Structure 1
Amino acid sequence: MSAEIVTYPDAELMALSLADRIAGELRVNLDAQRPASLCVPGGSTPAGMFRALSGLPLDWDKVTVFLNDERWVPGDNPRSNSAMLRKSLLVGPAAAATYLDLYTGDPTPEGAAPALSEQIKPHLPITVLVLGMGDDMHTASLFPQAPGLEALLASDAPPVMAAAGGAEPRITLTAPALQSALNIHIMIKGAQKRAALEAATGADPVTAPISAFLRNAVVHYAE
């Protein structure tokens, strides 16, 4: 089964529509008196959606937010995904959400991963997962053919592990933790990423990690 693809005329409409949809999916859990978890990507693509979502009426104090992955840099570093998230999503009504920061200040992500796994476990299955995708078909910190990728993809992987890829050390949720999500959304913009997504469909996750999430995902695409 291939992913459902929703195409939007522009990024602004994608941001507004997806924000409404995510709020509705979180509300299903909250209305049933269950806590809700929202796992989101870094990068520039979701920023507009975060701003729209942050202002929507929701019992934010019952929502736990965490990133798909993080560079192992302090929160005041320009390369920090947390810094972007605090400015775009964790403001207004959404400031009441609980934020679980993947950067702990430990010397290494390897040292921090076991405790982070224990912190994430109570929030699984993830209520709503939003993923991005690079031109190379990576998602979270699951990079094609990177050292250790097969351990991150393994069905028995702990929820959080250190990851290789990029200039800095990284921490990431693993494939089984991400695949646990009740609702999976993938946001992409531009023809190049659309082509990469099509190339990933049916591919081996070792060469196209995003393919591990396409079966149950809704892809949101804007030119």
Structure 2
Amino acid sequence: MNFLKYPDSEMMAMDVANMLADELGEALHHEERICFAVPGGTTPGPVFDDLCAVDIDWSRVDVVPTDERWVPEDHPRSNARLIKERLLVNKAAKARFLPLCAAQHAPQDVLAELESQIASELPIAVALMGMGADMHTASLFPGAAGLVEALDPHAPILVPVARDDLEEPRVTFSARVLNGALSKHILITGQDKRDALRASRNLPVEKAPIQAILEAATVHWTP
């Protein structure tokens, strides 16, 4: 794991956007199409605002959420909505979006179809992820139904996840797919998350799912 500290969130957003742009551009030199996995939430928004203006061949980039709440795309809590509003604009509007949700159906009825759209685009070239203070990443939540399957080395591409305190069911990339990304970046802010990251190193992966994807990842942190 590589740990980078920034003086403020604005500097972190600019530096991470530049790093991602370089890695996406380099990947496009070697592959006809590449897969770029990104999170929802508030932390990556400023990165998206900078990255969307970068001059790379976005028409050859497939953008996919690392996880998704099972809600319509126009729902305020939809990761797809955030990604489309903050990243898939400006020059990045030419990218192709691959959804992880078809909210008009039950997850188990359409996961195979969603996976079929993604399988040929793997491995992920560049993955941007976050981490919660509970040490979850994507929707790999401690104690969630589906976590054991999602952490299995032979897990499917997508896994449905639920927990009583989550507002809606979710679908997440399995840990093996996220960890298989050729380049991994994790954004965290605040002392509580830095403390959680430190604590995770001494916990089993079931209690600290972030551990499943930390190897060879770059963690970006600002207070």
Q: Deviations over 1:114-140 (max 9, x none)?
A: 111221111111000011011100111
The structural deviation recorded for 1:18 is 0.6
How large is the Cα RMSD of the aligned pairs? 1.1
Structure 1 segment 189-200 matched on structure 2, within 5 A = 189-200=189-200
* SS in structure 1 of the partner of residue 221 of structure 2: strand
Structure 1 window deviating more from structure 2 (40-49 vs 102-111): it is: 102-111
- Letter matched to residue 109 of structure 1: P
Match of 1:12 among 10, 13, 37: 10
- Letter matched to residue 97 of structure 1: A
Instruction: Provide the C-alpha distance between the structure 1 equivalents of 2:87 and 2:127, rounded to a whole number of angstroms.
Output: 15
- Segments of structure 1 that go 5 or more residues without pairing to the other structure are none
Match of 2:40 among 39, 42, 49: 42
What residue number does 1:52 align with?
50
Q: Does 1:76 align with 2:70?
A: no
In the TM superposition, structure 1's runs of 4+ consecutive aligned residues that sit over 2 Å from their partners are none
Instruction: Provide the C-alpha distance between the structure 2 equivalents of 1:90 and 1:170, rounded to a whole number of angstroms.
Output: 22
With normalisation by structure 1, the TM-score equals 0.96
* SS in structure 2 of the partner of residue 126 of structure 1: coil
Structure 1 segment 104-115 matched on structure 2, within 5 A = 104-115=102-113
- Letter matched to residue 209 of structure 2: P
CA contact (8 A) 1:202 1:211 kept: no
What residue number does 1:178 align with?
178
- Letter matched to residue 110 of structure 2: A
* SS in structure 1 of the partner of residue 185 of structure 2: strand
Structure 1 segment 60-209 matched on structure 2, within 5 A = 60-165=58-163, 166-209=166-209
CA contact (8 A) 2:133 2:196 kept: yes
The structural deviation recorded for 1:202 is 4.2
Instruction: Provide the C-alpha distance between the structure 2 equivalents of 1:91 and 1:219, rounded to a whole number of angstroms.
Output: 26
The structural deviation recorded for 1:37 is 1.0
Query: Size of the alignment, in residue pairs?
Result: 221
Instruction: Provide the C-alpha distance between the structure 2 equivalents of 1:149 and 1:29, rounded to a whole number of angstroms.
Output: 31
Instruction: Provide the C-alpha distance between the structure 1 equivalents of 2:138 and 2:145, rounded to a whole number of angstroms.
Output: 15
* SS in structure 2 of the partner of residue 198 of structure 1: helix
- Letter matched to residue 46 of structure 1: P
- Segments of structure 2 that go 5 or more residues without pairing to the other structure are none
* SS in structure 2 of the partner of residue 162 of structure 1: strand
The structural deviation recorded for 1:107 is 2.1
CA contact (8 A) 2:99 2:114 kept: no
What residue number does 1:210 align with?
210
Instruction: Provide the C-alpha distance between the structure 2 equivalents of 1:205 and 1:33, rounded to a whole number of angstroms.
Output: 33
Instruction: Provide the C-alpha distance between the structure 1 equivalents of 2:180 and 2:202, rounded to a whole number of angstroms.
Output: 20
- Letter matched to residue 138 of structure 1: H
CA contact (8 A) 1:141 1:170 kept: yes
Structure 1 window deviating more from structure 2 (157-166 vs 92-101): it is: 157-166
Structure 1 window deviating more from structure 2 (98-107 vs 7-16): it is: 98-107
CA contact (8 A) 2:35 2:61 kept: yes
